[in-house]
Structure 1
Amino acid sequence: MDLIPTPSHSTAYAADATFTLAPGTALEAGPGAENAARWLRAVVGAATGLPFASAGTAADGVVRLAVDETVPGGPEAYRITVDPASGVRITGAGPAGVFWGAQTFRQMLGPDAFRRAPVRDRVWQVPSGHLSDAPRFGWRGFMLDVARHFMPKDGVLRYLDLMAAHKLNVLHLHLTDDQGWRLEIRRHPELTAKGAWRERTKVGLRESTLWDERPHGGYYTQDDIREIVAYAAERHITVVPEIDIPGHSQAAIASYPELGNTDVLDTGALPVLPSWGVNPNVLAPTDETLRFYEDVFTEVLELFPGEFVHIGGDECPKDQWRDSATAQTRIKELDLEDEDELQSWIIRHFDRWLADRGRRLIGWDEILEGGLAPGAAVSSWRGFAGGIAAAKAGHDVVMCPESHVYLDWRQSESPDEPVPIAHARTLEDVYRFEPVPADLTEDEARRIIGTQANLWTEVMDSVRVVDYMAFPRLAAFAEVAWSALPAPAERDWADFESRMRTHYARLDALGVEYRPPGGPLPWQRRPGVVGRPKPGPPPIR
């Protein structure tokens, strides 16, 4: 069946035994399985042309969906049994398990089941047998940077469908940065009136001399976000918002200059940043700044019901704070040792603020510097060291090391790779990624609550480019995040590569413009746009 992610256990009853779906095949959903039934009837029904009639009218067998809490493996676990005579039974330990089972059932029907309408007359058959499955990690994430290049709402909804097809269950939306603010905040409307737009855009990285002189921007209204969150929830995906502080904040400062270090520079002259890189213009450590972002997070909590809120916390240069009398006075008032502790004070403030409202802070691994409150979690991006330190200190960790799962990194050593960044990370490299470091104890390893692939969009100015960089590597990552795989050196790459041949056909049916195994197609290249490639293997930190 060439399933991706590969299931925990499967047994075929007979090599040539199948169940055939027909116009008279019914769809029966028990309590808790109604949502999965609606999805299956709408999506798989559209692709196959089958009506999936209600129970009680089954002339050609039944597809039964049910919740059974005794299914082992947690609420996302499921079982599928296919009997040639009676039909298909998909049983989940919870509603999410039923939904993931329905996703597997769709794969079992073949690539044509991933289209939006029937493309040919055919018989829809499912091989008979039994399959049981459960995820390894509870956080199986994909970070989408919509701040650098805005992705319209329909594109985000499409990526939620692609995530669901791969059993990924956390969409981390990077909503704010120096280059754009993408979330409507009604208390502070200039964040989108001004901060959502930049006058032009650097083409390539900082070394490039090319510019796109068109204004670029866009933002999500609060109703857009409610729609995205609800659409995700129907697919058992949680949306985690990221509002970056205290660095990566020039779009906010351009909108409200008082947020910046006004005693160091003329913040009123700062534009929304049109280029890339680590930026010295950071938030001022004032009470007014704290109150402003409390307003922002108040509206964020109203829109995003999930447990975690991401506050960034990475790449915050301290030069302006060193030169700022206001910042130096704040350090003395708080009896802090230095500017690093000043950043920690800001992070701790919002950790307490979120905790008081029943939420949890998560941030990039720089938030460990200066100490971290017990309930906060860490996204470990600078290799594994930050995640190891956080786990040993008792913090929950999402492993997303740039050396393995940064999907903006180039996909091969070929000069044809578009805008090459950093080291080559091939499909096989991602497939051999192991999120849990071997030097953690069993208790410490339990602190690794999941893993995440991150896609930064500085050089991705369209959904077509995002597709190329994300796929097929996101499919390999999905298997790493879901399946209980052996150690990296023992993983069956040949088997995965073989299964991918079928999966490419699924991606074709979904309209995903992935990187072909043989390299980029002519229109996927970007000749003349320089990147920042690095030779040799990436450092493992």
Structure 2
Amino acid sequence: MTELIPAPRAVEGPLNHHVPLDRDTVLCSEPGTGTTERWLRSTLGPALGLPFPPGPEDSRNAVRLCLDDTLEPEAYRLSALPGRGVEIRGGDAAGVFWGAQTLRQLLGPDAFRRAPVRPGTARGIPQQIIEDAPRFRWRGLMLDVARHFMPTDGVLRYLDLMATHKLNVFHFHLTDDQGWRLEIRRSPRLTEVGSWRARTRFGHRASPLWEEKPHGGFYTQDDIREIVAYAAERHITVVPEIDIPGHSQAAIAAYPELGNSDVVDTASLTVWDDWGISPNVLAPTDRTLRFYEGVFEEVLELFPSTFVHVGGDECRKDQWRASPAAQARIKELGLADEDGLQSWFVRHFDAWLTARGRRLIGWDEILEGGLAEGAAVSSWRGYAGGVGAARAGHDVVMCPEQQVYLDHRQDGGADEPVPIGYVRTLEDIYRFDPVPPQLTGEQARHVLGTQANVWTEAMEDRARVDYQAFPRLAAFAEIAWSALPAPADRDFTDFERRMTAHYRRLDAQGVAYRPPTGPRPWQRRPGVLGRPIEGAPPNV
């Protein structure tokens, strides 16, 4: 009986015969499988004390890595046969790598450590054949580092955790009202000024508590190159997010000319130290467009991903309504209203990115005022935005707040730290389906996949991020990868059984997850106000 997460498509076995992995096990790798070869030697090898020397393909004690064009992209076939060793065949290099992640799980929790804890212990896996392939090509995690900065080593650790769970898109939320985290060399004040705030509210914006010290940090361009390269070695695509035209107070604090200076004293603005939605948005000027074109030019140099996220959400339009300059721009462009002005922003950068071989993606507010033809949508306000976009022929990533926002609380109990939003238990996540039933088969093909989002207003450090993300990210990974039955028919009892083994893997990786029995004493935040939403529908 398999204990794998995410669940594979088909397993033949396991049988009582065991296939050994020991110091004599050789590694045979075909051309094109280098990322997995390096990972086995640099990660799995040290964990178990195995050198994995190169050896002949016909060795009886080997791990063989092969490409197989009869398999679909990202699919793999893992065979563990006595006298033949372990063979991982992948439809492409990514498929071979995902097969290696399955091998690691089969070897037990010790395989998730950084050095052997039982040197000399015989290792082996039961004889079996596993056939597997992903349901979706976009299996994402969004991490907000703008509200609370996560240093580079923490980001690399999350890429490793994503790889463990066969997630392949890292949505990197780099800018917001509360901080700008990306070095832009032509605009140094974005990080000199925009990456630091004077203090931080502790808890939800209703909380009276403050951390009275500066908070901030940013990634140098070399940090970003390291993150992107590290992700690529794990077959993870990094999709950067640079917010326009809302969620931009940090940028305006650095460069006041970007704001609506005819209605607000932008020169007096600072990086926002509170939570919520700032009223300070970008001015709809050619100067703003040229500035952000310069930003995106450097973004494209650093991030090779096809998609570039431009935010586009929660843009308050009060300043545009009050601004004579913005109203003149609406009239000049022949637009109907302020929604049209936001659409003008989005369409400009959609065309700009398309001309450079990239694709724009934004939150579902970019549908307001008309959506640019090539743009894709991250549907966060329930299913509706994604349904509308897919019916209009646009690609969609389903990440509805009501189901897969991992900053939302995991339980309704009083001990839950800084309770935010809806109660979304492990089982709630497990019963989420990214494809809305009202879509036709043709429309459903526009659902690229799904993504879990981690917003960090109430997550002041890595341990808090771990607590909110896990174990629910494991359930989400199975939704994104595995061909599961309809939500009501899913075997959550079996998932819980497999999680018993998976908790030991998370322990070995040092993940500060929420135990199934509730938060540990040091995981609680007594007296820190959150924003619970009572009586929310279970799966809207």
Note whether the superposition's TM-score is higher than 0.5. Answer: yes
Q: What is the deviation of 1:537?
A: 3.2
Distance in 2 of aligned mates of 1:11 and 1:326: 68
Q: What is the deviation of 1:60?
A: 6.2
**Is contact 2:350–2:372 with CA below 8 Å preserved after alignment?**
yes
Distance in 1 of aligned mates of 2:14 and 2:428: 35
Q: What is the deviation of 1:302?
A: 0.4
- Residue identity matched to 2:85: G
The aligned runs of 1:227-266 (5 Å cut-off) are 227-266=226-265
Distance in 2 of aligned mates of 1:266 and 1:35: 52
**Is contact 1:383–1:540 with CA below 8 Å preserved after alignment?**
no
> How big is each residue's C-alpha offset from its partner over 1:98-148, in whole Å with a ceiling of 9 and x where there is no partner?
000000000010111000011114221111011100000000000000000
2:7 aligned partner: 6
Distance in 2 of aligned mates of 1:345 and 1:218: 32
State the SS of the aligned residue for 1:239.
Answer: strand
Q: TM-score, normalised by structure 2?
A: 0.98
1:130 aligned partner: 129
> How big is each residue's C-alpha offset from its partner over 1:341-396, in whole Å with a ceiling of 9 and x where there is no partner?
01101110000000000000000000001111221000000000000000000000
Distance in 2 of aligned mates of 1:22 and 1:345: 61
The aligned runs of 1:446-525 (5 Å cut-off) are 446-525=445-524
Q: What is the deviation of 1:471?
A: 0.4
1:204 matched to 2:194? The reply is no
1:368 aligned partner: 367
**Is contact 1:48–1:117 with CA below 8 Å preserved after alignment?**
yes
> How big is each residue's C-alpha offset from its partner over 1:16-71, in whole Å with a ceiling of 9 and x where there is no partner?
11101121111100111122011011111011101111113987611101011112
2:39 aligned partner: 39
- Residue identity matched to 2:262: D
Distance in 2 of aligned mates of 1:189 and 1:159: 28
**Is contact 1:175–1:183 with CA below 8 Å preserved after alignment?**
yes
> How big is each residue's C-alpha offset from its partner over 1:492-524, in whole Å with a ceiling of 9 and x where there is no partner?
000000000000000000000000000000000
> How big is each residue's C-alpha offset from its partner over 1:472-494, in whole Å with a ceiling of 9 and x where there is no partner?
00000000000010000000000
Match 2:114 to one of 112, 116, 126: 116
1:286 aligned partner: 285
**Is contact 2:397–2:450 with CA below 8 Å preserved after alignment?**
yes
Structure 2: gaps spanning 5 or more residues: none
2:420 aligned partner: 421
Distance in 1 of aligned mates of 2:539 and 2:335: 33
Structure 1: gaps spanning 5 or more residues: none
Q: TM-score, normalised by structure 1?
A: 0.98
2:22 aligned partner: 22
- Residue identity matched to 1:424: V
- Residue identity matched to 1:9: A
Instruction: Note closer, same or farther for the CA distance 1:318–1:515 as it changes in structure 2 (3 Å cut).
Output: same
Q: What is the deviation of 1:86?
A: 1.8
**Is contact 2:32–2:93 with CA below 8 Å preserved after alignment?**
yes
1:182 aligned partner: 181
Q: What is the deviation of 1:470?
A: 0.4
**Is contact 2:3–2:501 with CA below 8 Å preserved after alignment?**
yes
Instruction: Note closer, same or farther for the CA distance 1:478–1:268 as it changes in structure 2 (3 Å cut).
Output: same
**Is contact 2:408–2:423 with CA below 8 Å preserved after alignment?**
yes
State the SS of the aligned residue for 1:2.
Answer: coil
Distance in 2 of aligned mates of 1:327 and 1:23: 70
The aligned runs of 1:33-72 (5 Å cut-off) are 33-56=33-56, 61-71=61-71
- Residue identity matched to 2:159: L
Instruction: Note closer, same or farther for the CA distance 1:539–1:508 as it changes in structure 2 (3 Å cut).
Output: closer
Distance in 2 of aligned mates of 1:171 and 1:250: 24
State the SS of the aligned residue for 1:459.
Answer: coil
Structure 1 residue ranges, 4+ long, deviating more than 2 angstroms after superposition: 56-60, 536-541
The aligned runs of 1:128-167 (5 Å cut-off) are 128-167=127-166
**Is contact 2:33–2:66 with CA below 8 Å preserved after alignment?**
yes
Q: What is the deviation of 1:465?
A: 0.4
Distance in 2 of aligned mates of 1:140 and 1:446: 15
Moved more, 27-36 or 235-244: 27-36
Instruction: Note closer, same or farther for the CA distance 1:158–1:13 as it changes in structure 2 (3 Å cut).
Output: closer
Q: What is the deviation of 1:81?
A: 0.6
Q: What is the deviation of 1:538?
A: 3.6
State the SS of the aligned residue for 1:81.
Answer: strand
Distance in 1 of aligned mates of 2:539 and 2:126: 43
Moved more, 305-314 or 366-375: 366-375
1:94 matched to 2:95? The reply is no
Query: Number of paired residues?
Result: 538
